[in-house]
Amino acid sequence: MPDRRVIGVDMGGTKLLAGAVDGRLSVHHRLQRPLTGLDQPKLLDTVTEAVQEAIDNAGGEVDAVGFGIPCTFDQRTGTAVLAINLDMKDLAFGAIMSERLGVSCYVDNDANMAALAELRAGVATGVNDALMLTIGTGIGGGLILNGALYRGSIGAGAELGHMVIQADGPRCQGNCPNRGCVESLASGTALEREARRVADQQPDSALGQAFSAGRAPLGPLVTELAHDGDPVAREVLELIGTRLGVAFSSYTNMFNPELIIVGGGVMAAGDLLLEPARRELAKRALPPARDTVQVVAARFGFEAGMIGAAALALEGDSEVRA
Amino acid sequence: MPDRRVIGVDMGGTKLLAGAVDGRLSVHHRLQRPLTGLDQPKLLDTVTEAVQEAIDNAGGEVDAVGFGIPCTFDQRTGTAVLAINLDMKDLAFGAIMSERLGVSCYVDNDANMAALAELRAGVATGVNDALMLTIGTGIGGGLILNGALYRGSIGAGAELGHMVIQADGPRCQGNCPNRGCVESLASGTALEREARRVADQQPDSALGQAFSAGRAPLGPLVTELAHDGDPVAREVLELIGTRLGVAFSSYTNMFNPELIIVGGGVMAAGDLLLEPARRELAKRALPPARDTVQVVAARFGFEAGMIGAAALALEGDSEVRA
C-alpha cells in the first residue's frame, strides 16, 4: 500500500507553489504557477490544474489538500476578505476546490500556515506559546497559543503586522486603513523606503553608489552591502530592526511567548536585523517575560506556507472547512 | 449542611478588599483593610487577619481563598514580580497564605481576576474571545481566549496596558521601562496630565476655573464637568478615548475578539470615553474583525477583582498554585 500523501498549496500574490507532502512533512514533488492578473474563473482553473498535477505525481494516495492564502478569513461565510493581490472576493474557495478536486480541502491564512510549519517541524516544535512574523513586502502574523494556532472569534485574528507602534506614523499599505502599523514601518517595503532615503543623504556610501548605479532590487542589495560591512546599509537594518524590537516588546508584554519567530525574505539579513530588535526588546519589555522570550529565525524559507498548508491537510483542521 | 463559601481577596496598592462569596458569586460579607506602607511581615499579618475574619463571618464552610494582586507572576518560582505598591518581592505568597490559613489558596493578577468576573458573571458570560482593560492609575489587562484566561508561557502575559502605541511617546510609569505604552497615554494618570495642560491653556473654561479653585481629584472632576456639558472637559475625554481607540485597533487586528471590555475608575466617564474610542477603532482596524468587535463597559465596578478572585478559588484554578 502506498504512503498517504497530501498536497500543500501556498498562493502568493504573484505565484502558486504546490507540493506533494508525506506524513513526516517531507516534500516529494514540487511545482509553481504564475497567478498575476488572473480573473476569478482563470484563477480557479489554474489552481485546479496545478493541484491535479501535484496529485498525479504525488507517489501515494492523496486524500486532502491544504491552501495558504494571503488574506483574512470570515468563518461565518467561509469566504476570503482582503486578499490583496488575488481576485478572491466573495469566493467560497475551499468549497469550490473540494467540489472540483473530489478530496477534502482546507483553507487558512498563509502566515498562519508558516507558523504551523514551524510548530510541527521547525523551531517551535514542542513549544506552547510562540509568535511568528513573515516579513516580506508586508508582514504576516501567526499566533501559537497553548500549543495550537489561535485565529480569533471569526478567524480574522493574528494580524501581528497590523499592530500600531506609532499612532501618528505613515499610512499603512494595501487595504489597511491604519497608520503606523509595524507593517508600515518595518516591512520589506519600509526597508526599501529607508534605504532610498539614506542613499540620497549619503550618495558616496557603498549603498548610495550602488543605488545611483541603478542596482536592484533594493532590499537584497541593502542586505548584501550590510553583510559586506557597509556602515550605511547596516544603519538601515539597525533602524528597521529597532522598530521590530518596539513591536516585540508589546508582543512580549501581551503574549509572554517562549519564542518570537521571524521568517520571510527580509530574514536574509539574519542577525543584522534581529540583534537590534533583541536590544530594543530588552530595553522596553517588562520582566520576567522579557528575560525568557527568545527571538529566532524561522527554519523554513520560501516553502514555509506550502509545508504548513500540508500540515493543515494532514490534521484535517481548518478555519474554513470545505 | 451550610452552603459552600470561598473568600475572594483583591489586594490593591493601597487597600485590601475581601468578601465571602457563594457558588453563584453572590457576596455575603465584605471587609476592607489599608495596606499602604506595610513591610512584608506586617503585610502578611494584615492579610491573614483579614481573611480569617472573612472566614469566620462567611456563613458557610470555607475551603478555598483566591487572591488578585497587582503584579506580574513568574510561574517557575511561584513568586510575584513587579508588585508596584506592595512589598511582595521574592515572596511565595500563595504558599505562605495556604500554610497560615489551612485552606487552599490561589493567586493571580488582579486584572486577570476582573476579566474572570466578567467571564463568569458579567458582560462576557458565554463569550469565547474577549479583552478586558481595567483603567485606573494604571491600565491592567486580562485576556479571555477560547473561553479561558490566557496567561502566557510563565504567567506574565496579558499586560495589555503595556502595548506601545507611540514608540517615541512619554516614559511609562512605575517599573515599566517602555515609552508610549497605552498606560502612559490613556490611563487615569494620563487623563489628569492632559486635564492639567488643557486647564492651563484655557483658564476661563469650566475646567480651568475648577482647576484654579483647587478642586480635586482631577479625574472625577473632568468626568463630572464633561457630563455637565463643558466642551473643554469633553475634549480631554475625547483625546484619551481616541488614544484608547488606537490601542483597540491593534487588539482587534491581533485577537479578533468578540468584546473589548473597559472597567476601572475612569469608566465613570462611560460613553464620553468609549464613543471616541469606538470611532477611532472603526477608522483604523481591518475588516471583518472591526465590524464584529463590540466595545462595552464592564459590569463589575470596584468589586470586580474580589469577585474574580472568588471565582478562581471556586474553580480551583491558579497560575500560582499554593
- Show the cell assigned to A229: 560591512
**Domain range list for chain B:** 4-115+303-321, 127-297
State the pLDDT at residue A215: 87
Tell me which chain A residues have a C-beta less than 8 angstroms from the C-beta of B156: 256, 286, 288-289
C-alpha cell at B284: 483604523
Peptide bond into B288 cis (omega under 30): yes
Fold of B127-297: Nucleotidyltransferase; domain 5 (3.30.420)
Identical topology for domains A4-115+303-321 and A126-297: yes
Q: Is the pLDDT of residue A321 over 60?
A: no
Rounded distance between C-alpha atoms, residue A276 and residue A302, angstroms: 24
Sequence letter at residue A147: G
pLDDT digits (tens, 9 = 90+) for B6-48: 999 999 878 999 999 999 999 999 999 999 989 999 999 999 9
Label residue A125 exposed, middle or buried (CB < 10 Å: 0-12, 13-18, 19+).
exposed
Q: Which residue of B has its CA nearest to A149?
A: B146
Q: Cell numbers at residue B185, please?
A: 497615554
Residue A163's identity, in one-letter code, is: M
Cis peptide before B217 (omega within 30 of 0): yes
Beta-carbon separation of A177 and B81 below 8 A: no
Q: Name, of A74-88, B42-56, B212-226, the range with top average pLDDT.
A: B42-56
Got the DSSP string for A162-224?
G-BSBTTS-B-STT---BSBHHHHHSHHHHHHHHHHHHHH-TTSHHHHHHHTT---HHHHHHH
**In this model, does residue B320 exceed pLDDT 60?**
no
- Exposure string over A16-43, b if 16+ CB within 10 A, otherwise e: bbbbbbbeebeeebeeebebeebeeeeb
E strand segments, chain A: 4-11, 15-22, 27-34, 61-69, 72-74, 79-81, 104-109, 130-135, 139-145, 148-149, 259-263, 294-297, 320-321
| Secondary structure of residue B107 in the 3-state scheme | strand
**Could you report the per-residue pLDDT of A249-258, keeping only the tens digit for each?**
999 999 999 9
- C-alpha count within 13 angstroms, C-beta hemisphere, residue B95: 10
Chain B touched by A279 (CB under 8 Å): no
For residue B152, give the nearest of A129, A141, A283 by CB distance: A129
Of chain A, the percentage scoring pLDDT greater than 90 comes to: 83
Is the CB of residue A156 less than 8 Å from the CB of residue A73? Answer: yes
A137/A183 Cα distance (integer angstroms): 9
Q: B139-156, pLDDT tens digit by residue?
A: 999 999 999 999 999 999
Cα–Cα distances (Å) from B12 to A84, B29, B34, B71, B110, in that order, read 48, 19, 9, 10, 8
Mean pLDDT calculated for residue range B214-233: 92
Do A164 and B249 touch, CB atoms closer than 8 A? yes
d(CA A44, CA A56): 18
Dihedrals phi, psi of A142, to nearest 5 degrees: -135, 140
CATH superfamily of A4-115+303-321: ATPase, nucleotide binding domain (3.30.420.40)
Which pLDDT band, with edges at 50, 70 and 90, does A79 fall under? confident
Note the pTM of the prediction, 2 decimals.
0.95
Residue B65: band (very low, low, confident or very high) from pLDDT cuts 50, 70, 90: very high
Do the beta carbons of residue A263 and residue A301 sit within 8 Å? yes
Top-confidence residue, B84 or A15: A15
The H or E element containing residue B280 is helix B271-284
Instruction: Name the closest residue on chain A to residue B82, using Cα atoms.
Output: A287
Cis preceding linkage at B220, omega within 30: no
pLDDT reported for residue A91: 83
Burial of B36 (0-12, 13-18, 19+ CB in 10 A): exposed
On whether the CB atoms of residues B294 and B260 are closer than 8 A, the answer is yes
Residue B321 pLDDT level (bands cut at 50, 70, 90): very low
- Residue B86 one-letter amino acid: L
> How far does Cα B214 stand from its chain's mean position?
29
Among A19-23, A75-79, A226-230, A286-290, name the one with the lowest average pLDDT: A75-79
From the list A273, A191, A296, the residue with the least C-alpha distance to A227 is A273
| Residue with grid cell 484655557, as numbered in its chain | B202
* Rounded Cα gap, residues B186 and B138, in angstroms: 9
Question: Under 8 Å CB-to-CB from A76, ≥6 apart: which residues?
Answer: A154
Distance CA B280, CA A180 (A): 14
- Quickly count: other Cβ atoms within 10 Å of residue B216's Cβ: 11
| For residues B83-93, average pLDDT | 79
Distance from CA of A54 to the nearest CA of B (A): 33
pLDDT tens-digit series, residues A266-285: 999 999 999 999 999 999 99
For A81, the closest of B177, B283, B287 (CB atoms) is B287
In terms of phi and psi (left: phi > 0; alpha: psi -120 to 50; beta: otherwise), the region of B78 is left
Any CB–CB contact under 8 A between A155 and chain B?
A: yes
Return the C-alpha cell found at A39.
480573473
Q: How confident is the model at residue B304 (pLDDT cuts 50, 70, 90)?
A: very high
The pLDDT-based confidence of B61 (bands split at 50, 70, 90) is: very high
Collect all residues of chain A within an 8 Å Cβ-Cβ radius of residue B141: 254
Q: Residue A43's pLDDT band (boundaries 50, 70, 90)?
A: very high
Using pLDDT thresholds of 50, 70 and 90, give the confidence band for residue A44: very high
CB interface of B with A, residues 123-142, below 8 Å: 128-129, 141
The CATH H-level superfamily of A126-297 is: ATPase, nucleotide binding domain (3.30.420.40)
- pLDDT in the model for residue A239: 98
Residue A308: predicted pLDDT: 97
Q: What residues does A62 pair with on adjacent strands? A: A5
Which among B81, B257, B286 has the least Cβ separation from residue A176?
A: B286
